[in-house]
Amino acid sequence: MAGESKPVIWMRPEQAPVGRPAERSRAEITAAAVELADREGLEAVSMRRVAAVLGTGAASLYRYVATRDDLLDLMTDSTAGEYDLSAPSGDWQADLLEIAHQARKIMRRHHWLPTLVITRPTLGPHAIDLLEHVLDVLAGHPANPARKLEAFALLNALTALFVQNELTTAHPGAQRQFAHLHHVAAGGSHPRIAALLAATSPEGNSRDPFATVLTRTLTGVLG
Amino acid sequence: MAGESKPVIWMRPEQAPVGRPAERSRAEITAAAVELADREGLEAVSMRRVAAVLGTGAASLYRYVATRDDLLDLMTDSTAGEYDLSAPSGDWQADLLEIAHQARKIMRRHHWLPTLVITRPTLGPHAIDLLEHVLDVLAGHPANPARKLEAFALLNALTALFVQNELTTAHPGAQRQFAHLHHVAAGGSHPRIAALLAATSPEGNSRDPFATVLTRTLTGVLG
DNA sequence: CGGTGTTCGCGAACACTGTTTGCGAAAGAG
DNA sequence: CTCTTTCGCAAACAGTGTTCGCGAACACCG
């Protein structure tokens, strides 16, 4: 019969039990893709370029991965293996914040990660371990299980949004957006925006709102 | 001199003051792109296909737009024109929630919008009008101007995350992810996940957490 | 040891993509 | 009516993800 549907990559066996053994592994390919993305950004991660890093042909990668998106999922999950998870302390807020701070460090290390986390959320093996850990932290918390899942998703997504924001505002492209805002403010309408731009100091803001916003949001969803 | 850098699209004049007048407008092209995306998704919005909708050649679009990303920005900003903004009521929480609900409706109408809002935040003319309105709503609020800007960004981004989430969980691809989770739960390790899957009812959850999470977050960032 | 079954690696090809170039045609200005 | 400037756009370029087909490589088995 045709129509063989394609399950999630984590359920497909990495190596066939018979036949010629593969020369590489998913982990090897993932590492090459991650290294390439760290160096030249996500858009540089094309099948041909990843294959070139490995010294193989582009078509060979399809023995390890059904599609490029699968490779992106592998990259995302591999970074979820960089967490250093210690036993729950009893203070779930502190523990979750610790995880968020680690997430921020990881996402800064891999500047392509926020985009992936936000646009294609996945639950690979490492991410599942992380989820298990978060559920462990929240074990004593009396909240709907669905809410706990939402809290986990929000923790990831919000952190990604924050890091993406602080990464793009450093980029030169953001300066042009800012210049455009000033231009609009000078136009006469939009007095509120003009006042805002006049009142704010471009640099040297007060404390980092990351922790504040995150804890507020988490307590918001967890009741 | 060479090296003419490219300012934001909103600052480039739409039509040259001399020479042959253009046959189309940015708005026309944007409308075609939006219609195409509504019908077949973002990835269907290629220069050639948008041009085909308009009955022109692909290269012609570059007289109106410097790059495809510019076109995406135009699409995003055009949806910001769909808000129905009424005068501030005095209750800033209620007003902001109203805006968020409208945002949700708009994003559901254009299922490609959340991705764009999240991955390439822009401030086109319509979005600037919206920002001015939000600042008007928050005029009486005693908060750092920078915080108000963050609140605006979070309002957009969080709404996009929510809508994206509810759109993708409806998609058949999410069912496979869920199946994978069940498979993991059956594996023996990850007892918390197993408990969570056993405890939760797949459908018929309680109230929509959208409003709750959003107000909590906003009060969080605004102090 | 010699098949045999199966998978692996991968060059070549297909159908796309965003973008540039070059040029004929069109329109307004003087 | 010329001249200047832009417009529309076919064709080409340099990529992209993915599929096909086939020789080679390996593990097992008689």
What's the pLDDT tens digit per position in A48-99?
Answer: 999 999 999 999 999 999 999 999 999 999 999 999 999 999 999 999 999 9
Regarding predicted confidence, which is higher, B183 or B173?
B183
Average pLDDT taken over every residue of chain A: 92
- Closest CA–CA distance from residue A55 to any residue of chain B (Å): 31
Largest CA distance in chain B: 74
Q: Do B132 and A215 touch (CB under 8 A)?
A: no
| Statement: residue B206 has pLDDT above 70 | no
pLDDT of res. B5: 62
**pLDDT band with cut points at 50, 70 and 90 for residue A202:** low
| Average pLDDT estimate for B100-120 | 98
| Statement: residue A134 has pLDDT above 60 | yes
**Is strand C in 7 Å reach of the CB of B20?**
yes
pLDDT of res. A1: 42
| Cβ atoms of B124 and B83 closer than 8 Å | no
Q: Do A161 and B165 touch (CB under 8 A)?
A: no
Protein residue nearest nucleotide D26, by CA to C1': A20
| Statement: residue A201 has pLDDT above 70 | no
Query: What backbone torsions phi and psi does residue B33 show, to the nearest 5 degrees?
Result: -65, -40
What's the rounded Cα separation, in Å, for the pair B174 and A171? Answer: 34
When CB atoms are compared, the residue of A129, A149, A209 closest to B221 is A209
How does DSSP assign A177-218, residue by residue? HHHHHHHHHTTSS-HHHHHHHHHS-SS--SS--HHHHHHHHH
Residues of B (108-127) whose Cβ lies below 8 Å from A: 115, 118-119, 121-123
pLDDT of res. B45: 98
Distance in Å, residue B63 CA to nucleotide C20 C1':
13
pLDDT of res. B1: 42
What's the rounded Cα separation, in Å, for the pair B80 and A30? Answer: 39
| B177–A contact, CB cutoff 8 A | yes
Name the residue ranges covered by the structural domains of chain B.
Answer: 1-223
Q: Do B196 and A135 touch (CB under 8 A)?
A: yes
**DSSP one-letter code for B22:** P
| Statement: residue B205 has pLDDT above 80 | no
pLDDT of res. A53: 98
**Is strand C in 7 Å reach of the CB of A18?**
yes
* Residue B6: Cβ within 10 Å count: 11
**Is strand C in 7 Å reach of the CB of A57?**
yes
- Closest CA–CA distance from residue B157 to any residue of chain A (Å): 8
Distance in Å, residue A18 CA to nucleotide D2 C1':
80
Query: Can you give the three-state secondary structure of A105-129, one letter per residue?
Result: HHHHHCCCHHHHHHHCCCCCHHHHH
Helix (H) or strand (E) holding B28: helix B26-40
Query: Considering chain A, what percentage of its residues have pLDDT values greater than 90?
Result: 80
Interface A–B counts its CB contacts (< 8 A) at 134
Q: Which nucleotide is nearest to A45 (CA to C1')?
A: D16
What's the rounded Cα separation, in Å, for the pair B41 and B192? Answer: 37
* Burial of residue B19 (number of CB atoms within 10 Å: 0-12, 13-18, 19+): exposed
What's the rounded Cα separation, in Å, for the pair B166 and A157? Answer: 14
* B57 SS3 class: coil
Average pLDDT taken over every residue of chain B: 92
**DSSP one-letter code for B79:** H
Same fold, A9-79 and A84-222: no
Question: Quick one: which of B51, B69, B71 has its CA closest to B59?
Answer: B51
| Average pLDDT estimate for A198-203 | 68
Fold classification of A9-79 (topology level): Arc Repressor Mutant, subunit A (1.10.10)
Output the six-digit token pair for B181: 């989770």
Encode pLDDT of A7-43 as tens digits: 899 999 998 999 999 999 999 999 999 999 999 999 9
- Find where tokens 């007003």 sit: B95
* B139 SS3 class: coil
Query: Considering chain A, what percentage of its residues have pLDDT values greater than 70?
Result: 95
pLDDT of res. B31: 98
Strand D: list positions under 7 Å from protein Cβ.
4-12, 15-21, 24-28
**pLDDT band with cut points at 50, 70 and 90 for residue A3:** very low
Question: Which residues of chain A lie closer than 8 angstroms to B136, CB-CB?
Answer: 192
Q: At what angle do helices A47-54 and A26-40 cross, to 10 degrees?
A: 110
| A132–B contact, CB cutoff 8 A | yes
Helices (H) and strands (E) in chain B, counts: 10, 0
Encode pLDDT of B135-167 as tens digits: 999 999 999 998 899 899 999 999 999 999 999
Reduced DSSP (H G I as helix, E B as strand, rest coil) percent helix, strand, coil of chain B, to 5? 65, 0, 35
Q: Domain A84-222 carries which CATH code? A: 1.10.357.10
| Statement: residue B203 has pLDDT above 80 | no
Q: Do B213 and A220 touch (CB under 8 A)?
A: yes
User: With respect to CATH, is domain B1-223 assigned 1.10.357.10?
Assistant: yes
